[in-house]
Amino acid sequence: MLKLVCFGDSITAGTQGLSKPMLTTKLAEHLKEFEIINAGVSGDNTCDAMSRIQNDVMKHNPDLVTVLFGANDAAFHKMVDIETYKENLYKIIEHIGSDKAILISPAPVDEKLQFDRTNNVLSEYSLIVQEAARDTGSYFIDFFSEFISIDNYQEKLIGLENDGLHFGEKGYDILVRLMVSKIKEIHN
């Protein structure tokens, strides 16, 4: 059986009322050939990720790793400057291997509800994710552009917390669709 590790922050770890993380629960419905390991930690940024990549990701000897960080790196109260964010992404890819890394740009926010980060800043961080994927030959999912291009995308950002950041099932459906499509493209 193949191993997929989902490495990220609260978007990866979020349960949205389920007993297990919603992301990996939904992925398991579509990716029967994978053992899916959730390595999401709420509040983490890429600096935190560096301190736990060995124990939370590499020890599993994964076949693929999704990397979804940026919402906390781009938050005004935690801000990891864009150059450090970029350096951390390259180091994460170096650990994982570009042939196994699927980089995912952070999601947009509903700026009427979310005051710690803006879509302008998140779009800059998303471009860094795309650049890192291109430079290293890693796989890339442009979650930010896909999500923000949906009419009334803010409706898809409504989750249990309704904070404009932690989306519910509709948001996870978009993310899972993109991830499953990319993973099947890689493993077919």
Domain extent for 43: 2-186
How much is the pLDDT for 187?
86
Average pLDDT over residues 156-167: 94
Digit-coded pLDDT (tens) for 74-96: 999 888 999 999 999 999 999 99
How much is the pLDDT for 113?
95
Average pLDDT over residues 157-179: 95
Instruction: Give me the residues paired with residue 141 across strands.
Output: 104
How many structural domains are present in the chain? Answer: 1
How much is the pLDDT for 40?
98
How much is the pLDDT for 79?
87
How much is the pLDDT for 77?
87
> Which residue, 44, 163, 164, 160, is CA-closest to 108?
164
188: confidence class by pLDDT, cuts 50, 70, 90:
confident
Let me know: does 159 contact 134? Beta carbons within 8 Å: no
Largest CA distance in the chain: 44
